[in-house]
Amino acid sequence: MSNQAKTDAIKTFLASYKAKDVDTRIALFADDIRFEDPVGSEAVVGKAAMRHYFDATIASGWEIDLVPQKIIVNGTEAASITEVSAGVGGNPPTKTTIVQNFVFDAAGKFKALRVFTDAFG
């Protein structure tokens, strides 16, 4: 998988939040995806668990927009510096910057995703 294809996959993943397109998001994951958001929290593991996590986020009323500021690809890993706007229940959104670490498998799917943030202290 080329670096451009990896960059495009990350951009598709990020855009799927605003569109609330869980199917597109899930299609990017390996079956054994491991997701930490934020790093240090209990990981969500597997596509079924990921679908539940994302469906629950949407059902809770979250409005999330993720806009990449810079994507850096090195080998089977990539990092995205991403601007976040997130709010729930009609409240004004919180804005912050996160760093996401993506790890790709041999098929070009995300096998790990870790989210670094300082939004929680």
For 3-33, write each residue's pLDDT tens digit.
Answer: 999 999 999 999 999 999 999 999 999 999 9
Please say whether the structural domain 3-116 has been given the CATH code 2.60.40.10: no
pLDDT per residue over 46-88, tens digit each? 999 999 999 999 999 999 999 999 999 999 999 999 999 999 9
State if pTM tops 0.85: yes
Cis peptide bond prior to 38, omega within 30° of 0: yes
